[in-house]
Amino acid sequence: MTAEIVAFAGPPTVTADLPIVDVVFIQEWNIEADENPGAPEWGDWEAMAEYLAQWDYGDETDAAHTVDYWQGGTYDDTYQVRVGGLTYWLNVEWGLRYAGLTRRPL
């Protein structure tokens, strides 16, 4: 899979009629990288999106993690990214070193 940053964007519009799927969230990225040698370096957006997308199990993820509210933080930078043909939102808080990946239900 190759990730591509589509846009630096704000959070997506999220409502009961337009939900998102919370694919994965990692806090304290430096610990993740220390414990998992395959984790990309903090700050490599494309590699981070690819790494997080490995936890997207399609319909199974939809069933378990579809929500009707944005879960990103107030100070997150949000990027619209494409990974493996799917469009995601990668939200990152650079100072606190956390990142999350969301998408629309399949």
Residues 40-71 have pLDDT tens digits of 777 788 888 999 999 999 999 899 999 998 88
Which residue range is the domain that position 35 belongs to? 3-103
- In this structure, what token pair is assigned to residue 21? 């799927």
pTM attached to this predicted model: 0.85
Question: Which of 40, 43, 51, 60 minimizes the C-alpha distance to 88?
Answer: 51
Ordered strands of the 20-26 beta sheet:
3-9, 77-83, 86-93, 98-103, 20-26, 66-67
Q: What are phi and psi of 2, to 5 degrees?
A: -120, 130
Mean predicted lDDT score pLDDT of the chain: 86
Number of domains in the chain: 1
